[in-house]
Structure 1
C-alpha cells in the first residue's frame, strides 16, 4: 500500500503552509461580511475534488503539453517562493478579481485550491507516494472545513496581530520548502 506516516506528516505540513487557511481567516471573515453565509461543506468538498483530481490527471496534462514533473516542480518552487514573500513581507504580488459570491469561487478556488496548491501537489508527487498525498489532502481539507466553520471564533481568540504572526511564521516555513523543492528538482532538469 505504501502508507508512510513521515511522508503524510511532511506533505500535510507543506500543504497546510501553502493553503494557508489560518492566514486566510481575515479574507474569509471579509467574504462572510460581504456575502452573508459561507458554505463550508460545499467549499471543502469542491476544493478536495480539485486537488485530488489534479494529483491524478495533472501529470498527464503536463505530459500532453510536453512538460516533465521536474520542470513543473522547479517552476512551482518559484511560485511558492513568491507566495512566501507575500506572507512574510505583507505585500500582494498577485491580485485577484473581486467576487460576488463565496460558494465555489473564490473560496474553493482559488483561495483553498489555488495555483500554488496545484503546483505543490505535483511537486509532492515527484517526491512522495500518491496515497500519502491523498491522505495529506484529506487531513488538510478536514482542517480547512473546521477553520471555515469557526473562522469568526478563531479571529476573536487570536486577534489580528496573532493572525499576522502566524502568517509570517508559515511564510518562512514556505520559503524553506520552496528552496528545498528547487534544490531537489533542479538536478533532474540536467540528468
Structure 2
C-alpha cells in the first residue's frame, strides 16, 4: 500500500523533471572551521509522504558505501542518539519541539542560501528515479558515485535536515525509522552488507507503519 502511494506521487511529477536535490558542500569559514556549510536546491517536486522513503534509501546506501569505518559509526551514533531523544516527543506539537531545538540534527551543519561558486568543495546530486515497472518503488541515484566518506556523512544529515525543516510529517517519522534501522543492523544484517543496503529501508517502513498504527489505536 505504501509503495503504491509513493509510486502514484512519482508518476504525478510534471515534465521535464524527475525530482532531484543538488547539495553543495562549501569550504568552511576560517573563523568556523568545525562548521559544514551546505547549500541545497530542489528540482522538480517530491510528494511529502515520499520523502522518508527517499531518505531511507539514501541512509542505507551511504552506510554500505562507507563500510564500517569511524565516520559510519559516528553517523549512526549521531542519528540514533537524536532518535532516542526524539522518540518521546513524536506526538508533541511540532512548533513546541522545534522551538526547543530538538529538530536540529547537528550544530555543525550550517545552511547557506547563496553559494559562492569559488567556495564549493563538492557538489552532489540525489535524483529520484520513479519510472520502473508496475508496482516498482522509486529509486535514487547519487552522483558522483565515488565520494569521500565525510561527504557521505554530511549528505545524509543535510538531506534529512532539509526534509525536517520542510515537512512536519517527515520530522515525526524520522526517529522511528532511525530506530528501526538500528534494530535491523543489530538483529539481521550489518550496515556494511549489500543485504542491509537493499532490505533495511523496507524494514524501516514496515516497523514505522506498525508503530504508528499501534500508537493510533492506543490514543
Bin for the TM-score computed over the shorter chain: 0.3 to 0.5
> TM-score with structure 1 length normalisation?
0.38
Larger strand share, 1 or 2: 2
Higher relative contact order (CA 8 A, sep 6+): 1
| Structure that is richer in helix per residue | 1
Give the TM-score of the pair, scaled to structure 2.
Answer: 0.34
